Structure 1
Amino acid sequence: MAEVRTTQRHGKNNGKKVSSRWREAFIEALARTSNVTKAAKEAGIEPGQAYRERREKPQFYQRWQDALCEGYDHLELEVLRRLREGDFVTDDGNKYDFASALRVLAAHRDSVAKVRAQRSNTSVADIRASIDRKVDEIRQRVAAREQARSEPH
């Protein structure tokens, strides 16, 4: 069973018990969701605690960046899968929000490009150009699908 301690630092978490293994849970959730607030909630911490850890611990910062890249890849693949399969409805019956997905992809492309360039020893400009091409391709597919759906049959 995971060790549990009360977080005293900076008076956060209001004395709630926090697993000393929160970092693993946070990184896993961040990779899955690309959302710091959701990842912090799943890890049982306040987002501020994760941000402090990121600022103070270079190794945690690197793992954070890797998790965001993984989340970015998952989102990119999810959008492409939905477009290819014509899957426009979420599990709860709502329309899949392609516009928000594209905004997230565009918002994180610089940080993802930087991490990928560091990993592959390629220039950030080359990686960013590659990402831009992918995002543009996704936008074109979304626009084409929307236009096809709006035209009378």
Structure 2
Amino acid sequence: MAKQTPGDAARGRTIHVWRDAFLAALAESSNVSAAARKAGVPTSTVYSARREDAAFANLWFEALCEGYDNLEMDLLRRLRVGELDGGKAKARRKFDNAIAFRLLTTHREAVSRQKALRADDDEDAILASINAKLDAMRAREKAATALAAENGVYSVNDADAAG
């Protein structure tokens, strides 16, 4: 059974419910305060949970990485195609690119560290992928050599070896 804080019990919500909502909002906004508000918990509660629970801290940084990736893509899109325009003055959304850049710069190191940790976890998968690509390349080379021999065509390498 999930632990409940006094505030959670008063609202009838388990800690896991607010955590999921918080992490989803954090991945969407990259804003801890806004994510805590959306999850319905005080900011101090989320920071306390992060300090006390390593698994939650890891999920927090994963959500931040996702949020920063999204922010970076939004900035690149705005730089390439301009600001959003809904056709009406009221439909336009204002963006503060300077704040977005400062946010990305401020948390770049933490996000890079988390991405490096994620990359370490995927090392075996990367090596397996490289080996599979090498095997496919060898198979294509073998098939091409067999086809060339079948058609009476010699490869450049064979001609070099003979000459």
| Shorter-normalised TM range | 0.5 to 0.7
How many Å apart are 1:7 and its aligned residue? 3.4
After TM superposition, list the pairs within 5 Å mapping 1:10-49 onto structure 2. Answer: 13=7, 16-17=10-11, 19-20=13-14, 21-49=17-45
Letter of the 2:13 partner, please give it.
S
Number of aligned residue pairs: give it. 114
Note the residue ranges of structure 1 that are not aligned, 5 or more in a row: 122-153
Note the residue ranges of structure 2 that are not aligned, 5 or more in a row: 121-163
**Equivalent in 2, 5, 8 of residue 7 of structure 1:** 5
Change (3 A) 1:7 1:18: farther
After TM superposition, list the pairs within 5 Å mapping 1:62-141 onto structure 2. Answer: 62-87=58-83, 93=92, 95-121=94-120
Identity %: 42
SS at match of 1:19: coil
How many Å apart are 1:41 and its aligned residue? 0.7
Contact 2:33/2:43, CA 8 A, preserved across alignment: yes
Matched residue, 1:143: none
SS at match of 1:96: coil
**1: CA distance between counterparts of 2:70 and 2:114?**
16
Letter of the 1:73 partner, please give it.
D
Contact 2:75/2:97, CA 8 A, preserved across alignment: yes
CA displacement 1:105-153 (0-9 Å, x = unmatched): 10010001100111113xxxxxxxxxxxxxxxxxxxxxxxxxxxxxxxx
Change (3 A) 1:96 1:24: same
